[in-house]
Amino acid sequence: MNEMKKFGSAAAANTGLLLFLAAVPAMGASADVGSALVMGVCVFVLALLTALVVCAVRKVLSGDAVIAAAVIVAAGFASLLVMLLRAYLPAVYPTVWMYLAVCAVNMMLVSQSEQGLAQAVRASLIFLGAVVLTAVIREVLGAGSFAGVALPFMEGYKLSILTQAPGGFIVFALVMAVLGGAKKGE
Amino acid sequence: MTVKELLLVILSAAVADNLVLSGYFGFDSSVLGANKKSFSLCLGAVIIVSTLICNLLHGILVSMGVEYMEIMVFALVILVVCAIAVKLMGEKAPSFAMLTLNSVLLGVALTGHSMGLAEALCYALGTAIGFWVLLEVFASLRLKLNNPNVPKAFKGMPITVLAAGIIAMAIYAF
């Protein structure tokens, strides 16, 4: 399981790799700004809580047991968040819940990085930024609205493909290129 | 369900409702694992076994009134099945990290848990076939994308994601 730790540290330190590993929930929940914001906040909370508990658990357990513990903890918190979403945000729940569950698996990786809590917070903030940016582009250009509010100047210029699955790939690729290129100064 | 309906489930899971291209599940590891033949075989077997186990467990969880524990139980099942698969395959086994972190496993489990057993098996089989085809496509795509004309900012993952979007547009026509 050392490869898991190396992978986790590499992902936590490398923005490009992190964005790529977070591609699934980022693309899935970025069809509109509301879902993206909810997803980003949920992932931040999930990452923070998982890292806190795993940091404590790591002092008691070792080796493979930490991975199993990280899975249980992350999935438990994800289940809790899914239930809260179902109860208090039923409009967003159908879009977001499966991707939040998938995040639980990826949290296992972040919790394996050496720096734990700090890297988990950094990673989830980067994710929040990327998913909201992707959602803004997709909703404004694809649906001609922003956070559900119709934009009159976009009437007649909507590219509806951007709100569908292919649009998620295309817009996220552009976001990755922009964020990765900005970091390298290109 | 009739045999014809089950065949349609396999076909739609492999092509029209491909979880990777229509739901984004498993996209990251499908690109990372594209060059490894053992990865697609192992993952296909794990998808089928874990979906069947999760389908059975869903019934047990519902009868006990604890279906809210689905995500935890399914994630643990996937972890155990992946560990067993890696042990059984020995030296030819793919990376445990790449196998476990593949979101298509949890995606199929969560999508197929409320189906009948035969339908869930066909859905898992169709997903495994579709995933294998996609891995072959991504493997040949990566060779062509190693092109010096690709802008620096797009080199590596961004151009691969963009190419996947174009493939998804072709599937979207279904």
**ipTM of the complex in this document:** 0.86
Q: How confident is the model at residue A24 (pLDDT cuts 50, 70, 90)?
A: confident
Q: Summarize pLDDT for A74-132 with one digit per residue, the tens.
A: 899 999 999 999 999 999 999 899 999 888 777 766 666 666 678 788 888 888 998 99
Q: In the predicted model, what is the mean pLDDT of chain B?
A: 86
Work out the average pLDDT over B135-155: 83
- For residue A164, tell me if it sits in a domain: no
Q: Summarize pLDDT for A130-165 with one digit per residue, the tens.
A: 899 999 999 999 999 888 888 888 888 889 899 999
Q: How confident is the model at residue A7 (pLDDT cuts 50, 70, 90)?
A: low
- For residue A21, tell me if it sits in a domain: yes
pLDDT of the residue at A186: 47
Subunit contact A178:B153, Cβ cutoff 8 A: yes
- For residue A184, tell me if it sits in a domain: no
Q: In the predicted model, what is the mean pLDDT of chain A?
A: 83
Q: Choose the weakest-confidence range: B16-25, B88-97, B149-158.
A: B88-97
CB A117 within 8 A of CB A47: no
Number of domains in chain A: 1
- For residue A133, tell me if it sits in a domain: no
Q: Which of 34-73 (A) contact B at CB < 8 A?
A: 67-68, 71-72
The 3-state secondary structure of chain A reads: CHHHHHHHHHHHHCHHHHHHHCHHHHHHCCCCHHHHHHHHHHHHHHHHHHHHHHHHHCCCCCCHHHHHHHHHHHHHHHHHHHHHHHHHCCCCHHHHHHHHHHHHHHHHHHCCCCCCHHHHHHHHHHHHHHHHHHHHHHHHHHHCEECCEECHHHCCCCCHHHHCHHHHHHHHHHHHHHHHHHHHCC
- For residue A179, tell me if it sits in a domain: no
* Whether the predicted pLDDT of A185 surpasses 60: no
pLDDT of the residue at B124: 93
- For residue A73, tell me if it sits in a domain: yes
Per the structure, the complete domain to which residue A112 belongs is given by: 2-127
Subunit contact B97:A83, Cβ cutoff 8 A: no
- For residue A112, tell me if it sits in a domain: yes
Work out the average pLDDT over B52-73: 91
Work out the average pLDDT over B19-36: 76
- pTM of the model as a whole: 0.87
pLDDT of the residue at B174: 67
Subunit contact A174:B100, Cβ cutoff 8 A: no
CB B98 within 8 A of CB B32: yes
| Alpha carbon A80 to chain centroid, angstroms | 17
- For residue A49, tell me if it sits in a domain: yes
Subunit contact A79:B22, Cβ cutoff 8 A: no
* Chain A residues with CB-CB distance to B113 below 8 A: none
Nearest CB neighbour to B110, from listed A101, A161, A170: A101
| Alpha carbon B100 to chain centroid, angstroms | 11
d(CA B10, CA B129): 9
Q: Choose the weakest-confidence range: B80-84, B118-122, B146-150.
A: B146-150
